[in-house]
Amino acid sequence: MKKIIHILSHSLKNDNNLNYHIYGNWASRLAKNTLQYTDIFQHEVWYPVRNLKIPKQITKDHITYKLFPAKTLNVGLESYFGLIYCPLLFQELTKHNPKTTLIHVQGERGSILHGLLLQKPLYSILVQYHGYGQPPWLDWMEKMSVTLLEKITFLRVRHFFVPIRPRVEYLKKTLHISPENVSSENFGVDYTRFKPHNKERIRKKLNLPKHAFIILFVGHLIHTKGVDLIIQAYEKLKVIYPQLYLLFVGAQPDDPLYTLGVQKADKIVGITDNAELPLYYNAADVYCLYGTPKTVKYGGVGIASYEALASNLNVISTNLIHFPDSIVSKVGFVPSDYNEFVNKLEFMVRNPTFSFHARSIVEPYISHEYVMKNIINIYLNILNEKS
């Protein structure tokens, strides 16, 4: 039977949140999404795990999860180029048949990916971009290091899934990757779950104020997503509009801006079951993200923004630029600077009935149905070539 091995390119930590990441990570989510549309593949999900003494295997919902002991040179470095030592992961591949097995790597950088490309040439390897990179003033460092390596190894990648516009140009123009081997798929949104619902009923269920104007951010409370600037804008406008309510969902106590969030936000919700997330998007009035230059360039639109758009929630985000030019202005506000971000937020507050109604516009780009059918077709085309 044909098999897809989903491998995470960075490491997980063996702590109390490990199970959450095992079953909710990109690799796991893609395996589960694929199974919703076809059962012609076996799926395994492999993770390098820090502080794990012996390998571990789990089977759940027709997916086999394999955890391998790993060491990393520096966890912070993994957001640029992780140097991870995980020999048992590579040894495990000797048990599989390259002719019937695809490897889909989540993350475009790090020693796990490049080790696979250099050491396992018989396997067909696919790469999902997630936005690794560096501040613009350090672009020279990429040219002197990562680019030189990628000019060698990336010619062996069978297909790139790249929802980040500058990275598409980089692959085609700098690395001379064939356009046939690059497409824009990212993790799709389940349109049967993330959809509009009655706001008043959901606010009552979540114990949120009925008449507030709720500003929502979902994810870690970090500078790179502009959480500090969202707080500043909220505080500035709340003086004029006391109905403003700031809601953070998915925050963790070790987030860099967690303490500030506790001090300033009206409500903080920690790690939330994915099944509960649609409620928060439907309870809110606007979703905000203000990325740093690095985040804008490399971060893509972002899964949380996808989910907000699918829920027909208005979005103000610097990162909407990664949608095609033909729809960017139709799906949300793209602030060019902080002052415009504040102005667009104020416009939303002053015009609470205004809506982009972006759900149907972005559906061909972000829904499970479209995204997964494209990915499955790519899997089949590559495997059929090898048979």
Do 136 and 297 meet the contact criterion of CB atoms below 8 Å apart? yes
Chain centroid offset of residue 265 CA: 24
pLDDT in tens, 5-59: 999 999 999 999 899 899 989 999 999 999 999 999 999 999 999 999 999 999 9
Question: Quick one: DSSP state of residue 54?
Answer: S
C-alpha to C-alpha distance for 302 and 149, rounded to whole angstroms:
27
Query: For 189-237, how does the pLDDT look when each residue is reduced to its tens digit (9 = 90+)?
Result: 999 999 999 999 999 999 999 999 999 999 999 999 999 999 999 999 9
CATH 3.40.50.2000 corresponds to the domain 2-188+367-386: yes
- Fold classification of 199-366 (topology level): Rossmann fold (3.40.50)
Helical ranges in 25-163 per DSSP H? 26-35, 78-81, 87-92, 111-119, 139-144, 146-153
Fold match between domain 2-188+367-386 and domain 199-366: yes
Distance between CA 353 and CA 220 in Å, rounded? 29
d(C-alpha 159, C-alpha 366), whole Å: 19
Q: Render pLDDT for 51-103 as a digit per residue (tens, 0 to 9).
A: 999 999 999 999 999 999 999 999 988 988 999 999 999 999 999 999 999 99
Long-range CB pairs of 246-249 (<8 Å, 24+ gap) are 246/214, 246/215, 247/208, 247/214, 247/215, 247/216, 247/217, 247/280, 247/283, 247/284, 248/217, 248/218, 248/221, 249/216, 249/217, 249/218, 249/219, 249/277, 249/280
Q: With left for phi above 0 and alpha for psi between -120 and 50, is residue 253 left, alpha or beta?
A: alpha
- What pLDDT, on the 0 to 100 scale, is given for residue 71? 97
At 75, list the tokens: 């966890």
Residues 37 and 27: their CA atoms lie apart, in Å, by 16
In whole angstroms, what is the distance from residue 102 CA to residue 97 CA? Answer: 9
Determine the 3-state secondary structure of 273 from DSSP: coil
The whole-number pLDDT of residue 120 equals: 96
Beta strands across the sheet bearing 286-289? 267-269, 244-249, 213-218, 286-289, 314-317
Do residues 337 and 323 lie in contact, with contact meaning Cβ atoms separated by under 8 Å? Answer: no
Distance CA(284)–CA(320), nearest Å, equals 19
Say what percent of the chain tops pLDDT 90.
Answer: 88
pTM: 0.83
- The domains of the chain are located at 2-188+367-386, 199-366
Contact 336, 320 (CB under 8 A): no
1 pLDDT tier (thresholds 50, 70, 90): confident
Cα 23 to chain centroid distance, Å, stands at 15
Phi, psi torsion values for 217, nearest 5 degrees: -135, 135
pLDDT digits (tens, 9 = 90+) for 354-386: 999 999 999 999 998 999 999 999 999 999 987
Kindly provide the residue ranges of all beta strands, DSSP E only, lying in the chain, ordered along the sequence: 2-8, 12-13, 41-50, 56-60, 63-72, 84-85, 101-106, 124-128, 157-161, 182-183, 213-218, 244-249, 267-269, 286-289, 314-317
Q: For residues 106 and 93, give the distance between their C-alpha atoms in angstroms, rounded to a whole number.
A: 17
Q: Which uninterrupted H or E stretch holds 373?
A: helix 368-386
Residue 206 structure tokens: 């979540």
Distance of CA 68 to the CA centre of its chain: 23
pLDDT, position 349: 98
